[in-house]
Every structure is written in structure tokens, then in C-alpha cells.
Amino acid sequence: MTYDETLAIMSILKANFPAHAGKLDKAGAVSLAKLWEYQFKDYDAKIVTAAVMAVISSKSGDWFPQVADVMDKVHLLTTPQSMTAQEAWGIVAKAIQNSTYGSRDEFEKLPPTIKRTVYAPEQLKEWAAMKPEIVQSVIASNFMSSYRAKAKHESEIQALPSDVRLMLDKSIGGLMLDKPSET
């Protein structure tokens, strides 16, 4: 989104939140526009506008929405519905059934976030060797909890501006969004 597109969105917000807009001096308005331009630079202006309209239609009060409010709507509009922890466990449970001898093949078939949660083919093989009632209770519960945390973390990382993600990637040796976790 460009600065001019940001200004167009700011005018929509100004029209909807006149009490807040009236309290901003010129420097404050410029700072606010630059902040929004930076935060939404990786997104198409049409998506951000749609997100702003969604926030406006559900927000009461006289204050501008926060960047996070709009970003949440942007992600709602642009991200496919994520898999639930139960759905993810169903995929893992099926993979476990064939993992006594085929754990590597089963691991490679897993979706990326599930792969990062399971971490390694050896984990599937270990679970395949356990009693089924333990796997379907304790292991399932622990996996679903870990999966929810991993999916939430990855969603939060994806919400960061691209240059921040790149900086983190360089400073910590990778955000690990394309390979299994080492934790």
C-alpha cells in the first residue's frame, strides 16, 4: 500500500471518527499516516480498505481503530481458515498407523505446521510403538496443545511487516516457517 492509498484510507477513518480526527494536529496526522503506511505496506490497498470497512461496521466509539484491529481483519480476509487442532491430530494419527516402518514417508506427507509440531520422523515411529490408548489420550492431548501454540506463533509471525520478518530471520538464524522446529 502506498502513502497516497494510506491517505485515502485515513480520510475514510476521518469521516467515520470525526472526534478523533479533530484532535490530531498536522504532525500527528502525518505520523499516523506514515505508521499505517509502514504497517500495511505489504498489503493491497483494496484489502486494507475492506478490512477498515469491516472494522468500522463492527466498532463503536469515537476513536480510530488500532492497527492491530485492522490487521486482524486483513488476515481474516486473506488467510485461508486454519486447521483445527483436532483436524491436525487426525492427520497425525493416520500417519502414526503407517510409521512403524514408514515414518519418514509419512512425515514428508504432513502439512508444514504439523511437520514443525511433530518435529521428526522418529517421533512418529516412537508414537507408533506406544500403546494405542496412550497415543489417543496423552499424546493426542499434548500434540493438540503444541499444535495450537505453533499455529498461533506462526500466525503472529506472518502478521509482521516483511522487513521485520527478514530482520528476525537473519538475527535468529531463521524463523523456521519452512522447516521443522528444533525445540
What confidence score (pLDDT) does residue 179 get? 45
Contact 140, 93 (CB under 8 A): yes
Residue 88 half-sphere exposure toward CB, CA atoms < 13 A = 25
Question: Per-residue pLDDT for 64 more than 90?
Answer: no
Q: Whole-model pTM?
A: 0.65
As a whole number, the mean pLDDT across the chain is: 87
CA–CA dist 124, 93 (Å, integer): 9
What confidence score (pLDDT) does residue 183 get? 34
Q: What size, in residues, is the chain?
A: 183
Could you report the per-residue pLDDT of 99-153, keeping only the tens digit for each?
A: 999 999 999 999 999 999 999 999 999 999 999 999 999 999 999 999 999 988 8
Q: SS3 string of the chain? A: CCHHHHHHHHHHHHHHCHHHHHHCCHHHHHHHHHHHHHHCCCCCHHHHHHHHHHHHHHCCCCCCCCHHHHHHHHHHHHCCCCCCHHHHHHHHHHHHHCHHHHHHHHHHHCCHHHHHHHCCHHHHHHHHCCCHHHHHHHHHHHHHHHHHHHHHHHHHHHCCCHHHHHHHHHHCCCCCCCCCCCC
Question: Per-residue pLDDT for 173 more than 70?
Answer: no
Question: Per-residue pLDDT for 81 more than 90?
Answer: no
CA–CA dist 45, 41 (Å, integer): 9
Question: Per-residue pLDDT for 181 more than 50?
Answer: no
Question: Per-residue pLDDT for 83 more than 90?
Answer: no
CA–CA dist 127, 183 (Å, integer): 18
Residue 164 half-sphere exposure toward CB, CA atoms < 13 A = 11
Contact 52, 9 (CB under 8 A): yes
pLDDT band at 168 (very low <50, low <70, confident <90, very high): confident
pLDDT band at 80 (very low <50, low <70, confident <90, very high): confident
Q: Which residues contact 24 (CB under 8 A, 6 or more apart)?
A: 32
